[in-house]
Amino acid sequence: MIRIIVWAFGADLQIADSVAIFAQGSIGLCATAGAKLKGASLIIAIESDPFRAQVAKRMGADIVLNHEIVDVVEETRRLTKDRGVDVAIEALGTQHTFENALRVLRAGGTLSSLGVYSGKLSIPLEPFAAGLGNHKIITTLCPGGKQRMERLMELVRHGRLDLRPLLTHKVPLDRITEAYKLFGERRDNVIKVAVAPWRS
């Protein structure tokens, strides 16, 4: 799970940048935590689930927008004085969120696409500013490596990063099928399930 934090770094997020993170599942929440670690000045999380919105605040979001209640593009523009955010992170994997992530970017901003898309994804002309917006789109896998992991673990060890809010459930190894079902059905406010290496 901690490797997901790196995705916020992959977006080339700089100190004092503004960032909008679309969807606050485990990937989006880790991106929120990563944005805070990198020193973002404004972190806007987009999430409709009340529990995940609450966890987003704990992980570092300054503002959580519910896309079922407000126009997130319009509100993000208002919050940034119509400039747009420096970085938008798409963590859901849908055409709609991808387009909205483009729409909230400032000229020259970066979109980091973390979502796994199950269908065809297209880049619409208008949000892309007809290619004249100088936007950068990054679609990379989470970088790994022993040294990087050790550095991230040091953040946890020294109390700079608390991932406990993401661990909502714990099950023994012989109930792992139950854990997958719980996660797949998104029941009981599940975010991440810790699987203990012993049997019940």
Q: Taking 60 as the threshold, does the pLDDT of residue 154 lie above it?
A: yes
The whole-angstrom separation of Cα 150 and Cα 43 is 26
Highest average pLDDT, of 71-75, 138-142, 148-152, 179-183, comes from: 71-75
CATH code for 2-138? 3.40.50.720
141: alpha, beta or left? (left if phi > 0; alpha if psi -120 to 50): beta
Give the pTM: 0.86
pLDDT in tens, 125-145: 676 665 666 788 887 666 666
Produce one character per residue of 109-147: b if its CB has 16 or more CB atoms within 10 Å, e if not.
Answer: bbbbbbbeeeeeeeeeeebbeeeebebebeeeeeeeeee
Query: What integer is the mean pLDDT of 141-153?
Result: 74
Does residue 3 have a pLDDT over 50? no
Q: CA neighbours within 13 Å on the CB side: how many for 56?
A: 27
d(CA 3, CA 26): 11
Report the pLDDT value the prediction gives residue 44, as an integer from 0 to 100.
98
State which H helix or E strand residue 75 sits in.
helix 72-79
pLDDT of residue 148: 75
Work out the angle between the directed axes of helices 95-103 and 72-79 (0-180°, nearest 10). 20
Domain with CATH 3.40.50.720 in the chain: 2-138
Residues, the chain, total? Answer: 200
Mean pLDDT of the residues in the chain: 87
Average the pLDDT over 44-54 and give the result.
98
Q: What is the pLDDT of residue 127?
A: 63
